[in-house]
Amino acid sequence: MPGRLGERMAVECRDHLACLSDYVDGELDPDLCAEIERHMAECGDCRIVVDTLRKTVSLYRSYGHAELPPDTKERLYAVLRLDRQPAAGTSTR
């Protein structure tokens, strides 16, 4: 019964909590990983935390980066007394 497993399970959930970022990043030790997956199969609350944590990270990765506004970039070049590169943004690397 997800989410209502009593105090023992709550302790287990809390124990796993610290590892969840490593789990979401795929950086967790395989044994611990299997343990968390076994736990999540039984615990709906932890599964929700993991799913929403993963979604949180993916939203910021997709939409969190702000483009440098063109006028900000122009003023930066002016302050630095630099000429803009001919094909700015595509020329380096």
Instruction: Catalog residues that contact another protein under the rule CB under 8 A.
Output: 2-5, 9-10, 13-14, 17-18, 20-22, 24, 43-46, 48-49, 51-53, 55-57, 59-61, 63-69, 72-73, 75-77, 79-80, 82-85, 88-89, 91-93
Specify the residue, 33 or 49, whose C-beta has the smaller distance to another protein: 49
The pair of three-digit structure tokens given for residue 82, joined into one six-digit string: 């630099």
Nearest to 73 by CA among 83, 61, 64, 62: 83
User: How far from the centroid of its chain's Cα atoms is residue 59's Cα?
Assistant: 8
Closest distance of CB 34 from another protein, Å? 20
